[in-house]
Amino acid sequence: MMYFRPDPEVLLPGFLLATIYGSLVRTYITMGGNGSTVDHLKTGQVAALPILWCPVAEQQEILTVVDRESSRIQAAKLSAQSGCELLREYRSALITAAVTGQLDIRAHEKKMEALA
C-alpha cells in the first residue's frame, strides 16, 4: 500500500485517482506487475506510472464531466438492477399462479397457436 499526496497546484487528487483507475495505468500495472493472485508493483515501477496531466483548470473540467457521467451511469445501473429485481418478482408470482391453478396456461397456449 502506498500513499500519494500530489501537489494540488500541479495535480488534483481526484484527477490522479481517475487516471490511476484509467485504462492506461491499468494496462501498465497488468503488464508490469507481479504476484500470484494480485499484481504488485515495486516502488520504482510506481514512480514510473504513466500519469497524464494537463493544467489544473482543465483537470477540474475533466473531473466535472467524469463526475456527471459517472452519476448518470450509476443511476442507470440502479434502475436496471431495480428492473431486474421486479422481473424476478413477476416471474416468481407467475410461476406461483401457474402452479396453484390461478392461471390457466392452456388458454394462453391456444391464443399463441392462433397467432402463429
Judgement on whether residues 60 and 47 belong to the same structural domain of the protein: no
pTM of the predicted model, to two decimals? Answer: 0.63
Q: Are residues 24 and 70 in the same domain?
A: no
Q: Give the chain's domain count.
A: 2
Residue 116 has pLDDT above 80, yes or no: no
Shared domain for 49 and 64, answered yes or no, is: no
Query: 82 and 101 in one domain?
Result: yes
Grid cell digits, residue 108: 394462453
Q: Which residues contact 8 (CB under 8 A, 6 or more apart)?
A: 56
Indicate whether 67 and 108 sit together in one domain.
yes
Residue 113 belongs to what domain range? 55-116
Q: Quick one: angle between helices 23-32 and 13-20, nearest 10?
A: 60
* pLDDT 10s digits, 14-29: 999 999 888 888 888 8
